[in-house]
Structure 1
């Protein structure tokens, strides 16, 4: 797919491919964005999974490359009409103006810190659209006095309740998360709670007034409600099939299925297993449906005891499996990976440390029976939605086997073998914002090795320079308005060090995306341990093999 310009009469500026299964539609203004979003919500295109509005774009995701290609001419000739009128409610938020970047914002705007606070509280802000995280609303002000750029390097952790500025917008971070906005204060208001009938405190078209908090003032009524955003989706009531008891959870063990797509407008990412092929294989081997919940374990060292007879399979990263019986007269055994095996009542399965790859997947016949949250059993670390991470002493309920699915036969591993060169290759397609970097920037991205950074997680792979490497240069200055991003996007902040978004990525981002890793390589990307050398290869389609690639 290539960028398509559209006639002015249709009010679309351009259509850019965003990976192989999404289109980024540029529009001239916010009313046009809202009109297109309303049209797509009323009459979805064939294969449409999600449509995510932003300041001047709508990101439309599809279930296949063919659906994305077919949608391009349809969008280019679409009569947008007008968006329905929405007035919204007035929300008042009390703020403690003691943010880490308040002095920097004062310098950037030429105002004193007191004048910054006065400008922030002296206007009404309009929630233009949502995104980034559940409950995160982009608030557009009435005057440009507080226009400031994002930080050159985003923080790896911004606290919940942080009040921030970036570009034309202000926002409140609903929960702890990465972020590159300038922090000017904090609030006790709860922006997102699944205990409320409407989880989001601020929705698009609402009006927001910020007021300075007094030390003795009561919380905003909405802030007095419990924050369910970080403690939802506890395991369900035990079933008749028994369950598994966590003896040791390892570094990180999460319940995951194939995610909750289609909720981007609420700021909810799809989440799900970051190596879907390994998760599907684990389910297939034990006779489950592909979307049943499994355990995603980081780097091994997980130990589970069966409360009743179970059928398990472990896939993904390479590890050793060891079963210890409760009866000392019975023999210990070591089942193989990528094959089903029995774990009898009282027996304990232990996964050794991962020796190759990063994430193991454990499937159990019947599936993990955690309580679904917003249609999925996945744990979303970015949003705090879904079951809590596993911990020692937790009982994991297992559902009954459904249908006539039989236990599978041993299969080859889905883990991509380590290349002989010692450098993993990930295939990419350009855009949607490769024009911010030009041919020279793309040459830097693809012409050198990168290293996987230690700060990488399910949100994204943070890339660092390899020996002799150089950051990706830009040919355009200024700020890019926040817009929707896809799983696999390579976002490049001003530091020039790309971040590869994974399953828990924010649904919108404010740094330009130079390229996207093809979906067929995302499982391999999620299995790269810190320190691994990576090289990006530009291709035309996911079936292409770039010249010089070695497996």
Structure 2
């Protein structure tokens, strides 16, 4: 019998908390085997299983009852063995000798014990395909580096705490690196994208042939890289210029302009601060470390698509803070929604929230925004881009989906839908409110870690400049913790208010990590998340009970 309790995680998820990893594995297996319709994701972690629910299909209260009953009946040690994955490893990590000395053993002994251990993937997180491996044969608790590296190469194998793990792509990290593997740890196009999925058994096989080059890292497209231009890649803004000498990015590959297919497309002249392709995201892949991603202001994207007769989930371009210039390669239709600022088509001002004919050769200029932070440029037929895990969305943290748009990129447009462009009824669309927002929040799983009468609901918080698609950091009074100590990693959701040691919360957004180790005091409701998408640095925020 497993002792479990349910903890709220906002209005669309909850945690099932148990005593340890053995119970987590048993409960996760039992929940997965009896999962009802409406449970969209199950995310195991160190001591919890996150259960995400679609309340339109399954009321959360009923889902909680099912999960607790299933957890109570689960038996540890009764889970079926997962597939065996053998990883070739070269024990050549930068921290190998120091780690052995730290543990008081020889380097040869560390290598022998690591390779002899029978590992198992307890859960994934941090990055797509990053598996946290545990083993009964591994007796060590390895402290993380005091100062994390800003870049850990893809394929690095490391140790932290009781875990071992391998980095699927270049990321920052604080684990102690003992080796490298060239195994393809994550492939979004594969039937099973994560090589190290929860439940899999893992054996490390020392390589005598040496390690091949680490896997290349996809371009992240995060805010640090945003707005890069390519002065060495001149792109003509004239339509049909057969003598154009520049090059354009086509789905991440450079192609000569003369070889472009004669299909509907637009060409990016300037991306502004950050422009990415977004649809409604990947809602059911958190168990393999993949965030939801997708448009931050889903209502704005859906509205733009409806204005053009597209399916609501068709991909569009999310423009952060403005500055986008694009030229139509062929005649098309366009609508701009969301943030508020000047929009010009062929030099003439046009209204947002309307469908407009966009002639070939004409330039669309979405100028810098006066209100709001994100606008959506939708075209009839939707943006075409390679899908990753069923979505065309750009995930700036994980590097999934098409890279952030750059000057010279050729963006394909899909075929027009069979439905006509609707006659939009008269409606008053106003600028987004970005001076002060009131956000509804539901309880978080660690609210009791903070002082009663917390300042969360009394204070006026301010959005700092540290805000992007991953999360929004707030400034205000420090929230006082009444419980000290570290929190084992547990599943996260968009809207979670994580409270780091500074006491000032961060609101996780669509590209945020799927697991985290900071306590979550509350969760912004799903209905309020679109408002956060339009918050700018300096926006004031008040929280209220949902």
- What is the TM-score with the length of structure 1 in the denominator? 0.81
Among 76, 93, 112, which residue is 2:68 paired with?
76
**Cα offset, 1:279, TM superposition:** 0.9
How do 1:397-408 residues align onto structure 2 when only pairs under 5 Å count?
397-408=412-423
- The alignment partner of 1:111 has SS state of helix
Q: Which residue of 2 aligns with 1:28?
A: 19
Gaps of 5+ in 2: 222-248, 254-258
Distance of 2:60 and 2:148 partners within structure 1: 31
Q: Find out whether 1:481 has 2:475 as its counterpart.
A: no
Q: Is the 8 A contact 2:272 2:319 kept in 1?
A: yes
Check conservation: 1:491, 1:498, Cα contact below 8 A: yes
Q: How does 1:425-436 map to 2 (within 5 A)?
A: 425-436=438-449
2:91 touches 2:111 (CA, 8 Å); kept in 1? no
Instruction: Provide the residue aligned with 1:3 in structure 2.
Output: none
Q: 1:174 aligns with which of 157, 168, 175?
A: 168
- 1:516 and 1:283 mapped to 2: Cα distance? 28
Of residues 400, 403, 413, the one that matches 1:385 is 400
Corresponding position of 1:243: 265
Q: 2:458 aligns with which of 421, 437, 447?
A: 447
Q: Which runs of structure 2 are paired with 1:213-362 in the superposition (5 Å)?
A: 218-219=210-211, 234=251, 242-324=264-346, 332-362=347-377
Task: Give me the whole-angstrom Cα distance separating, in 2, the residues matched to 1:12 and 1:150.
Answer: 34
The equivalent residue for 2:201 is 206
Q: Is the 8 A contact 2:441 2:525 kept in 1?
A: yes
CA contact (8 A) 2:271 2:405 kept: yes
Q: Which moves more between the two structures, 163-172 or 255-264?
A: 163-172
CA distance in 2, matches of 1:157, 1:225: 14
Note the alpha carbon deviations across 1:77-134, whole angstroms, 9 max, x for none.
22436422236233243355436x998x89xxx9379879965773334322222321
CA contact (8 A) 1:252 1:389 kept: yes
In structure 1, C-alpha distance between the alignment counterparts of 2:429 and 2:109, rounded to whole Å = 60
> What is the aligned counterpart of 2:434 among 418, 421, 425?
418
2:45 counterpart residue number: 54
The answer to whether the 8 A contact 2:38-2:55 is kept is yes
Give the gaps of 5 or more residues in structure 1: 1-8, 325-331, 542-551
- Deviation (angstroms), 1:288: 0.9
Matches within 5 A, 1:74-153: 74-78=66-70, 79-80=73-74, 82-86=78-82, 88-94=84-90, 96-98=92-94, 111=102, 119=110, 122-123=113-114, 124=117, 125-141=119-135, 142-148=137-143
Q: Relative to 1, partners in 2 of residues 1:261 and 1:446: Cα closer, same or farther, differing over 3 Å? A: same
- Number of corresponding residues: 502
Contact 2:89 2:211 in 1 (8 A): no
Counterpart CA distance in 2 for 1:159 and 1:187 is 9
Deviation digits for residues 184-222 of structure 1, max 9, x if unmatched?
5674645324476754343433325497x99xx7325xx
Write the distance in 2 (CA, Å) between the matches of 1:418 and 1:457. 15
CA 1:352–1:121 in structure 2 vs 1: closer, same or farther (change >3 Å)?
farther
Any conservation in 2 of the 1:238–1:398 contact (CA below 8 Å)? no
Q: Are the aligned partners of 2:338 and 2:432 in contact in 1 as well (CA < 8 Å)?
A: no
CA distance in 2, matches of 1:261, 1:239: 33
Measured against aligned partners, the alpha-carbon deviations of 1:392-431 in whole angstroms (never above 9, x if no partner) come to 1111111122232533526444764234xxx433221121
Residue 46 of structure 1, CA deviation = 3.2
- Alpha-carbon distance, 1:29 to partner: 3.5
> Greater shift after overlay, 488-497 or 122-131?
122-131
Tell whether the 8 Å contact from 1:46 to 1:67 is kept in structure 2 after alignment: no
Q: What's the C-alpha RMSD, in Å, of the aligned pairs?
A: 3.5
Residues 87, 204 of structure 2: 8 Å contact kept: yes
| Residue 459, structure 1, aligned to residue 470, structure 2 | yes
